[in-house]
């Protein structure tokens, strides 16, 4: 009697799980080290943002790998089991996936004020299947599918999203200036600053400030570090 070929084993599934758990905690440890101990510069900031995205999408990708390995142990029986589970859990799976894409939006974070249907409030926390919104009526739980279906508007954010421009006159290179700015956390690095060359050998800084920070503070900080600034490139 023919038997169904077994492409994998329970032992391999177990070791795959172990490897994924170790990888997850290695990334978490690396992220913690970058945030607490690494030098404050643009490269490290980009690494931090990258590893946060890795952690956000790691769970669904790891789950998919485990399910594929689970199927390979007995692809007929296990496929049927997962199909049955998928039918009953489809709405929750869809809700979870919608949440991933919502949480990857750089404009949305704890403290952001959203309008979702009849509710307007501040995000208190993100949960696997929805978020807690602090409204005038109290704390409301709104699942991610509802947000995606009804749409939402961002009323305010922890950070100012206004893109501003300063012209710089300095002998420093763009990388040196960007590294310098990390010594004074004025800028919002969810919308990283960009420095390009302008006319007359000047530099053009495009930036977004953190909430509560002003252009005047940035100008003062730069000029204290021997970087001349102007709202246009007509330096006298």
Residue 55 and residue 96 in one domain: yes
Cα 190 to Cα 63, 110, 157: the distances in Å are 28, 14, 12
Alpha helices in 74-183, H assignment, sequence order: 75-103, 144-150, 174-181
Mean pLDDT of 221-229: 86
State the DSSP H helix or E strand holding residue 48, giving kind and residue range, or none if neither. helix 42-73
Provide the β-strand partners of residue 196: 204
> What DSSP assignment string belongs to 54-67?
HHHHHHHHHHHHHH
Residue 27 and residue 94 in one domain: yes
Is 15 a domain residue?
A: yes
Mean pLDDT of 173-197: 78
Residue 88 and residue 46 in one domain: yes
Indicate the pLDDT class of residue 213, thresholds 50, 70 and 90.
low
Residue 99 and residue 21 in one domain: yes
More confident residue, 81 or 40: 81
Instruction: Check residue 103 and give its pLDDT.
Output: 85
Q: Whole domain around residue 79: which residue ranges?
A: 10-103
Mean pLDDT of 106-130: 81
Mean pLDDT of 186-214: 76
Residue 98 and residue 15 in one domain: yes
Q: Is the per-residue pLDDT at 148 higher than 70?
A: yes
Which two tokens mark 137? 């009526």
Mean pLDDT of 87-98: 91
Is 135 a domain residue?
A: yes
Average pLDDT, the chain: 81
Q: Is the per-residue pLDDT at 15 higher than 90?
A: yes
Domain with 209 in it: what CATH number? 3.30.70
Residue 56 and residue 94 in one domain: yes
Residue 137 and residue 170 in one domain: no
Is 235 a domain residue?
A: no
Residue 94 and residue 169 in one domain: no
Which two tokens mark 221? 């900080």
Mean pLDDT of 213-226: 81
- Whether residue 114 contacts residue 108, with contact meaning beta carbons closer than 8 Å, is answered with yes
Instruction: Check residue 90 and give its pLDDT.
Output: 92
Cα 28 to Cα 16, 46, 153: the distances in Å are 18, 16, 32
Count the domains in the chain. 3
Q: Is the per-residue pLDDT at 38 higher than 70?
A: no
Mean pLDDT of 200-212: 76
Q: CB neighbours of 122 closer than 8 A, spacing ≥ 6?
A: 111, 112, 113, 133, 134
Q: Is the per-residue pLDDT at 123 higher than 60?
A: yes
Residue 98 and residue 121 in one domain: no
Instruction: Check residue 158 and give its pLDDT.
Output: 54
Mean pLDDT of 85-107: 87
Instruction: Check residue 163 and give its pLDDT.
Output: 65
Q: Is the per-residue pLDDT at 160 higher than 50?
A: no
Residue 40 and residue 22 in one domain: yes
Instruction: Check residue 2 and give its pLDDT.
Output: 46
Cα 49 to Cα 90, 158, 162, 164, 208: the distances in Å are 30, 17, 21, 22, 17
Residue 29 and residue 89 in one domain: yes
Instruction: Check residue 230 and give its pLDDT.
Output: 83
Residue 172 and residue 150 in one domain: no
Q: Where among 63, 85, 103 does a domain terminate?
A: 103
Provide the β-strand partners of residue 140: 133
């Amino acid at each position: 009697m023919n038997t169904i070929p077994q492409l994998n084993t329970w032992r391999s599934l177990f070791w795959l799980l172990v490897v994924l758990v170790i990888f997850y905690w290695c990334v978490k440890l690396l992220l913690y080290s970058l945030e607490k101990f690494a030098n404050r510069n643009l490269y490290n900031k980009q690494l931090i943002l990258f590893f946060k995205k890795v952690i956000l999408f790691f769970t669904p990708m790891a789950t998919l790998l485990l399910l594929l390995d689970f199927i390979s142990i007995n692809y007929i029986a296990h496929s049927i089991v997962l199909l049955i589970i998928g039918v009953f859990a489809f709405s929750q799976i869809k809700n979870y996936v919608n949440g991933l894409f919502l949480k990857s939006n750089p404009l949305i974070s704890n403290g952001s004020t959203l309008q979702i249907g009849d509710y307007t409030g501040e995000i208190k926390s993100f949960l696997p299947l929805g978020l807690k919104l602090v409204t005038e009526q109290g704390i409301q739980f709104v699942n991610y599918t509802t947000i995606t279906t009804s749409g939402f508007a961002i009323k305010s954010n922890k950070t100012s999203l206004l893109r501003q421009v300063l012209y710089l006159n300095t002998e420093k290179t763009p990388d040196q200036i960007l590294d310098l700015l990390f010594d004074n956390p004025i800028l919002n690095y969810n919308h990283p600053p960009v420095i390009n060359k302008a006319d007359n050998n000047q530099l053009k800084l495009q930036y977004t400030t953190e909430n509560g920070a002003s252009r005047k503070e940035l100008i003062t900080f730069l000029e204290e570090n021997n970087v001349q600034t102007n709202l246009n490139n007509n330096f006298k």
